[in-house]
Amino acid sequence: GESVGLHLPTLSVQEGDNSIINCAYSNSASDYFIWYKQESGKGPQFIIDIRSNMDKRQGQRVTVLLNKTVKHLSLQIAATQPGDSAVYFCAENSGGSNYKLTFGKGTLLTVNP
Amino acid sequence: AAGVIQSPRHLIKEKRETATLKCYPIPRHDTVYWYQQGPGQDPQFLISFYEKMQSDKGSIPDRFSAQQFSDYHSELNMSSLELGDSALYFCASSSDAGGNTQYFGPGTRLTVL
């Protein structure tokens, strides 16, 4: 079936650098996308979301970019800190459903001091 | 701010036993979702409820059932447990007013021996 996938399973950056985590989705009917951060043994934590009528959305130190033409989503983290180390998942609303999310495979971000 | 509450946080069961997981959504959230996450895997959608009615269903085994009660809390009942049911089980909640953004609880770690 259609699913959301990530290009890179791991990403290692130096503290203070900018991080970019990428995600490809295949369900063109999905119109809502979310990035979650998950630390070991904890629940996914909402970071930022974007709807399909937008190309870019900014939060505190984070920016999400959506390219509907190539079905690509990215999360940019500015000035990455050790506390940002976690697994990052993108998720889509499963073809427009209001009642389920399809998650990608996750990218492990490691921030080196 | 109040978050999603799940209980118990840890549960150990024997094969063929039953288990009940509970979820208390964020106040004024009317929709709850259940996800299963195996080791190193992304969360997989099981089932969701909106206003006490099942709203969507994913890859939930027939041995599992769930419901949402009048106070909006939800329970996931799991019978004839198998070794492969060992996983983290997350509950999330959302409200229409919040744009359906799902907020996750801390999870219940189920271990089947």
Please write the tens of the pLDDT for every residue from A42-83. 999 999 999 999 999 999 999 999 999 999 999 999 999 999
**Residue B109's closest chain A neighbor by CA?**
A41
The residue behind tokens 């229409």 is B96
Residue A25's beta-bridge partner residues?
Answer: A4
Contact A46 B42 (CB under 8 A): no
Distance CA B78, CA B75 (A): 10
Give the three-state DSSP class for A79: coil
**N-terminal to C-terminal alpha carbon distance within chain B:** 36
∠ CA A52-A23-B109, nearest 5°, is 105
> What is the structure's pLDDT at A1?
38
- Asked if B106 and B8 count as a contact pair (C-beta separation under 8 A), the reply is no
Query: CA dist A94 to A4, A41, A65, B109, Å?
Result: 9, 25, 19, 26
Contact B103 A94 (CB under 8 A): no
Measuring CA to CA, which residue among B1, B99, B58, B106 is closest to residue A48? B99
Confidence bin at B79 (pLDDT 50/70/90) = very high
The residue behind tokens 């974007």 is A50
Residue A103, H or E segment: strand A102-103
Distance CA B100, CA B109 (A): 25
Distance CA A92, CA A26 (A): 10
Is A46 in CB contact (< 8 Å) with chain B? yes
> Which tens digit of pLDDT belongs to each residue from A5-55?
444 489 999 999 999 999 998 788 888 999 999 998 899 999 999 999 999
Question: Residue B29 corresponds to which tokens in the numbers above?
Answer: 């959230």
Of B42, B55, B103, the CB nearest to A99: B55
Is B95 in CB contact (< 8 Å) with chain A? no
Of B100, B104, B109, the CB nearest to A44: B104
Confidence bin at A4 (pLDDT 50/70/90) = low
Distance CA B17, CA B78 (A): 8
B15–chain A nearest CA distance, Å: 23
> Which tens digit of pLDDT belongs to each residue from B40-76?
899 999 999 999 999 989 989 999 999 999 999 999 9
Measuring CA to CA, which residue among A1, A6, A9 is closest to residue A33? A6
Give the three-state DSSP class for B42: coil
> What is the structure's pLDDT at B47?
96
Show residues of chain B in contact with A106, CB under 8 Å: 42
Contact B102 A101 (CB under 8 A): yes
Stretch B97-104: mean pLDDT, rounded? 78
